[in-house]
Structure 1
Amino acid sequence: MYQITNKTIECNRKDGDKNNNTSDKNVRIIFSSIKGDEVNSLAQYLKIFSENSINLKHIESRASLNEHSGLEIFVECEPSENLNQVILSLESETSRIRILDNIDEIPSFPRCIQDLDQITKEIWSSGELEADHPGFTDEAYRKRRKYFTDVSNSYKSGQPLPRVEYTAEEIATWGSVFRKLIELYSTHACKEYNQIFPLLIEHCGFREDNIPQLEDVSNFLKRRTGFQLGPIAGLISVRDFLAALAFRIFHATQYIRHPSQPLYTPEPDICHELLGHVAFLADSNFAQFAQNIGLASLGASDEYVEKLGACFWVTFEFGLCTENVKLKAYGGGLLSSFGELQYAIEGKAEMRPFDPINAAKESLTITSYQPMYYVAENLKDVRDRMIQFSKTIPKKFGIHYNPYTQNIEVLTSKTQVQSLLENLHQQTDVLLDTLKRV
């Protein structure tokens, strides 16, 4: 028997069971029939394999645990050059399909966007404040944080992001932060930020007297780069945060810092998320950089996830670049902190050229200004260097994100890679033909 959960695939085998002795070269596929078509579906699907001369080694079926599907069908078959056509046919006639990997070699990680829902239940902190938090003794603030936790925990992938009616006090806190920071952006932020920030004002309601809604911002990002926001109640692990980026999902908080200290927060809040990060998620180069780090993290060892997290910290959060020999900020931690933005740009700390190998060794500083900042040539430089660094992460498989299904495809055979290359070749031919016409 086999069992599928949101995050893992398990095969229950007994030693000596001949039915379960499988070759590592065989391909294992699981797919679900469309609900209401259970009677004839199994025969119809198996006919697809027969018509393409695919030799089946093992077949199992059962009622689906998914309310939107009918049967779940597991097949094991020999590899064939016709297998790509079978998969394409199944994709058009089933509600879900997944190629299973060698369970003993492929670690567990999210494979479809719905798997990310589990992340919201595995956060490090969700409204529970530390004793040194400015709002620790404020019962009204603590109650409000509990509200945001409940709102976040009720969200599921595919739903509209929950809208929040912010209080006058919360809007005033946002306004204090917004007013201070926009005074610095023209001189302290990089050109990409200053090109996109006016669009956030125009399309997403970024202004002093209004806290933008995540749903409006997420829709804007999706139109620009395919990124979307996902509400989160508090801090999550580096591995979980990076895994979401692989699907172009950025987890963002909706609560706001305590009004007693509007220019300080000991944790990410909506000011940090929206003023620090959103603009870059709307930039194609930076969006690709963020997703690349996420994809690199999938299936990586804890050691390399920690290294990726350090690289993420010194770039995505506290990165600097140069423009006309001047320092500019692109890190969200800087662009959402009035004090540290000035501190960094004025060169009061040590500066080093960005190098992922050295950056991966850095310890994270979260209770004070950073003692040192990495400076890149530009955002493309950051992206290209991280792509090269990601190639050094040891894995026995490849990762491919399918933007049409929003699924992660694990590549363990040449057949899979060749299929992807064929699709890319077709797209390249179309672009080359277009290039001749324009």
Structure 2
Amino acid sequence: MLPRLLLSSSRSTPSASAAVSAASASRVGATASNRNLIPRLPAPLTSSGLSARLTSTARPALFARSFVTSTDPALTQATAVTSPVTRRPDGFPQKTTLLFSIQDSVGALDKVLRIIGTDLGISLTRIESRPSKTKDFDYDFFVDFDAKSKSQIDVVVAHLSGSPDSPAKRVRVASEGELGLQSAGGATMPWFPRKLTDLDSFASKVLSYGAELDSDHPGFTDKAYRERRKRITDNALAYRTGMALPNVDYTQDEVKTWGLVYNKLTDMYKTHACREHQYIFRLLEANCGYSPTNIPQQRDISRFLKECTGFTIRPVMGLLSSRDFLNALAFRVFYGTQYIRHHSKPFYTPEPDICHELLGHVPLFADPDFADFSQEIGLASIGASDEDVKRLATCYWFTVEFGLCKEGDALKAYGAGLLSSTGELEYSLSSKPELRPFDPFKAAVTEYPITEYQPVYYVAESFRDAKEKMREFAATLDRPFSVRYNPYTESIEVLDSKEKLVKYAQSIRGQMHTLMDALEKL
């Protein structure tokens, strides 16, 4: 069973999605699982034989929610919504990536897919390609599937390698459990999302399912409450990139619970919250329906954030790993729950809920400097090692969740864990805790309790200053490449070649030209 943060009656937990690994004594206590994939953007296929085959069969799979060998749209759609994955002690099921090479010939890829799908009954979740690095083959393919066991992986490799009908050559496992891939610098590298739709693969990969309640949860014996949460989390499970965010028709009991928390916290915001939070909160009341008698919808909030800073909200059905949650921040995507705490204890929750997400987190994602800071943490997590992800998650804990900042001679709270907890919000600004200047190098290795108020808080000079310090910290992480987020394509670009650097420099040159032109006109 995953350890949870046990809270006092006036404390709310940090974000549901920001699960921190057990090695860092987090409230979730589960290590982020590695997903290993060649860190290259897929190149388009131009050769006539494979292009024709990809157009008719495999090309849709590159963007489908889930891949099946049949081209029946109904069959593809049916596999899109699956049950949440619960891993066994042996680590299975787990994402596995196979690499193989083929010659350019009509029907070659179709034969491989038929072996995997028809003969072995396996549904692929991803197909990507690139021109082969060897002169003996035309293309290398990467295919992902959720392996049920080590023996299943061996069977797939054996069939692709040994079947006389298989054109696949040099078949090998690219990712298997903790296995990493060799980069150009010889370092291992976990899989990471490179386009917005890749986040769809996180939908069912939760560490703790929001519809499942422990025996000490206030709603454990409330059958109606449990069924209600399941319906809400099922909506989150079904969501995919590009779909309209699901609205929730909250009940009178849920709105009443929200109102009690809302009124108590908003009274404290006037004296305890940072000015950015207070300013944006008023905008949320005016534009998104924030009020004690109405629970705002994620759809309206996400639209508002998109216009302000490019951030969006994505529903989540439970706790994500630190890696998955931080990776999403790189795309300016925040995972938030839609269910609410049990009405019997409105000021207690053993897990993050919509009160924590909407009252604590959402306002500051509309602030440009805070949004940039959050994305910096996300970008630093792309392709990072487990150890570095743990350090980044700890920095997240001491900033986005439990951070304080200076406002003149005063201290104010900006961390969501504070701004959604009346008890700790008051405690954090008292004389009881120890205060330290924010330094990510020190914060990243600071241990913290998970069952009581924090004895130590880190104080940021400003969001902009915190962002610059995070950039300096990220530059020291053991990662053999740099990345950037391309807002036009909503994708992560790996800057690992001269060609990519030249292209990036050209885009910067264009921006500098615009800047100089504007300065001359002032």
Question: Would you call these one fold, judging by a TM-score over 0.5?
Answer: yes
Instruction: State the 1:349 CA deviation.
Output: 1.4
Q: Deviations over 1:11-44 (max 9, x none)?
A: 9xxxxxxxxxxxxxxx9852268xxx966999xx
Alpha-carbon distance between aligned partners in 1 of 2:54 and 2:336, rounded to the nearest angstrom = 41
Q: Name the aligned partner's letter for residue 124 of structure 1.
A: L
Residue in structure 2 matched with residue 144 of structure 1 by the alignment = 228
Residue in structure 2 matched with residue 276 of structure 1 by the alignment = 360
Going from structure 1 to structure 2, the CA distance change for 1:40 and 1:307 (only over 3 Å counts) comes to closer
Contact 2:42 / 2:128 at 8 angstroms: preserved in 1?
A: no
Alpha-carbon distance between aligned partners in 1 of 2:379 and 2:396, rounded to the nearest angstrom = 13
Q: Name the aligned partner's letter for residue 200 of structure 1.
A: L
Answering whether residue 258 of structure 2 is matched by residue 174 of structure 1, we say yes
Q: Name the aligned partner's letter for residue 237 of structure 1.
A: S
Going from structure 1 to structure 2, the CA distance change for 1:265 and 1:32 (only over 3 Å counts) comes to farther
Alpha-carbon distance between aligned partners in 1 of 2:324 and 2:448, rounded to the nearest angstrom = 17
Answering whether residue 304 of structure 2 is matched by residue 226 of structure 1, we say no
Going from structure 1 to structure 2, the CA distance change for 1:377 and 1:124 (only over 3 Å counts) comes to same
Residue in structure 2 matched with residue 185 of structure 1 by the alignment = 269
Alpha-carbon distance between aligned partners in 1 of 2:381 and 2:506, rounded to the nearest angstrom = 26
Of 145-154 and 217-226, the range deviating more from structure 2: 145-154
Pairing of 1:232-381 with structure 2 (within 5 A): 232-381=316-465
Pairing of 1:41-60 with structure 2 (within 5 A): 60=104
Q: Name the aligned partner's letter for residue 141 of structure 1.
A: Y
Answering whether residue 182 of structure 2 is matched by residue 104 of structure 1, we say yes
Residue in structure 2 matched with residue 15 of structure 1 by the alignment = none
Going from structure 1 to structure 2, the CA distance change for 1:413 and 1:73 (only over 3 Å counts) comes to closer
Residue in structure 2 matched with residue 75 of structure 1 by the alignment = 131
Q: Deviations over 1:279-328 (max 9, x none)?
A: 11101111011111011001111111000000000000000011121110
RMSD: 2.7
Contact 1:32 / 1:72 at 8 angstroms: preserved in 2?
A: no
Going from structure 1 to structure 2, the CA distance change for 1:111 and 1:28 (only over 3 Å counts) comes to closer
For residue 318 of structure 2, give the secondary structure of its aligned residue in structure 1.
coil
Going from structure 1 to structure 2, the CA distance change for 1:190 and 1:145 (only over 3 Å counts) comes to same
Q: Name the aligned partner's letter for residue 343 of structure 2.
A: P
Instruction: State the 1:76 CA deviation.
Output: 4.7
Instruction: State the 1:403 CA deviation.
Output: 0.9
Higher relative contact order (CA 8 A, sep 6+): 2
Q: Name the aligned partner's letter for residue 216 of structure 1.
A: D
Alpha-carbon distance between aligned partners in 1 of 2:310 and 2:290, rounded to the nearest angstrom = 20
Q: Name the aligned partner's letter for residue 321 of structure 2.
A: S
Contact 2:220 / 2:226 at 8 angstroms: preserved in 1?
A: yes
Alpha-carbon distance between aligned partners in 2 of 1:189 and 1:294, rounded to the nearest angstrom = 24
Alpha-carbon distance between aligned partners in 2 of 1:110 and 1:242, rounded to the nearest angstrom = 11
TM-score, reference length from structure 1? 0.79
Alpha-carbon distance between aligned partners in 2 of 1:75 and 1:201, rounded to the nearest angstrom = 52
Going from structure 1 to structure 2, the CA distance change for 1:74 and 1:305 (only over 3 Å counts) comes to closer
Contact 2:38 / 2:191 at 8 angstroms: preserved in 1?
A: no
Contact 1:402 / 1:408 at 8 angstroms: preserved in 2?
A: yes
Instruction: State the 1:368 CA deviation.
Output: 2.1
Residue in structure 1 matched with residue 44 of structure 2 by the alignment = 31
Answering whether residue 485 of structure 2 is matched by residue 401 of structure 1, we say yes
Instruction: State the 1:366 CA deviation.
Output: 3.0
Answering whether residue 207 of structure 2 is matched by residue 124 of structure 1, we say yes
Residue in structure 1 matched with residue 503 of structure 2 by the alignment = 419
Contact 2:435 / 2:456 at 8 angstroms: preserved in 1?
A: yes
Instruction: State the 1:436 CA deviation.
Output: 1.1
Contact 1:253 / 1:268 at 8 angstroms: preserved in 2?
A: yes
Instruction: State the 1:60 CA deviation.
Output: 4.1
Contact 1:29 / 1:76 at 8 angstroms: preserved in 2?
A: no
Q: Deviations over 1:59-84 (max 9, x none)?
A: 7475799xxxxx98742589xxxxxx
For residue 404 of structure 1, give the secondary structure of its aligned residue in structure 2.
coil
For residue 285 of structure 2, give the secondary structure of its aligned residue in structure 1.
helix
Alpha-carbon distance between aligned partners in 1 of 2:470 and 2:334, rounded to the nearest angstrom = 19
Of 426-435 and 104-113, the range deviating more from structure 2: 104-113
Residue in structure 2 matched with residue 206 of structure 1 by the alignment = 290
TM-score, reference length from structure 2? 0.67
Alpha-carbon distance between aligned partners in 2 of 1:381 and 1:234, rounded to the nearest angstrom = 32
Percent sequence identity is: 49
Alpha-carbon distance between aligned partners in 1 of 2:222 and 2:53, rounded to the nearest angstrom = 62
Of 370-379 and 304-313, the range deviating more from structure 2: 370-379
Instruction: State the 1:408 CA deviation.
Output: 1.1
Instruction: State the 1:415 CA deviation.
Output: 2.1
Q: Name the aligned partner's letter for residue 108 of structure 1.
A: W
Alpha-carbon distance between aligned partners in 1 of 2:401 and 2:389, rounded to the nearest angstrom = 16
Contact 2:339 / 2:353 at 8 angstroms: preserved in 1?
A: yes
Going from structure 1 to structure 2, the CA distance change for 1:287 and 1:28 (only over 3 Å counts) comes to closer
Q: Deviations over 1:370-426 (max 9, x none)?
A: 121111112112111111111110111111111111111112112211210111111
Alpha-carbon distance between aligned partners in 1 of 2:244 and 2:505, rounded to the nearest angstrom = 35
Contact 1:399 / 1:411 at 8 angstroms: preserved in 2?
A: yes
For residue 459 of structure 2, give the secondary structure of its aligned residue in structure 1.
strand
Q: Name the aligned partner's letter for residue 251 of structure 2.
A: T
Instruction: State the 1:143 CA deviation.
Output: 1.4
Q: Name the aligned partner's letter for residue 187 of structure 1.
A: T
Which structure has the highest helix share of the two? 1
Alpha-carbon distance between aligned partners in 1 of 2:130 and 2:475, rounded to the nearest angstrom = 33
Q: How many residues align?
A: 373
Unaligned runs of 5+ in 2: 1-34, 56-101, 114-126, 135-179, 184-188
Alpha-carbon distance between aligned partners in 2 of 1:371 and 1:435, rounded to the nearest angstrom = 48
Instruction: State the 1:9 CA deviation.
Output: 4.7
Residue in structure 2 matched with residue 52 of structure 1 by the alignment = none
Match of 2:244 among 156, 160, 164: 160
For residue 335 of structure 2, give the secondary structure of its aligned residue in structure 1.
strand
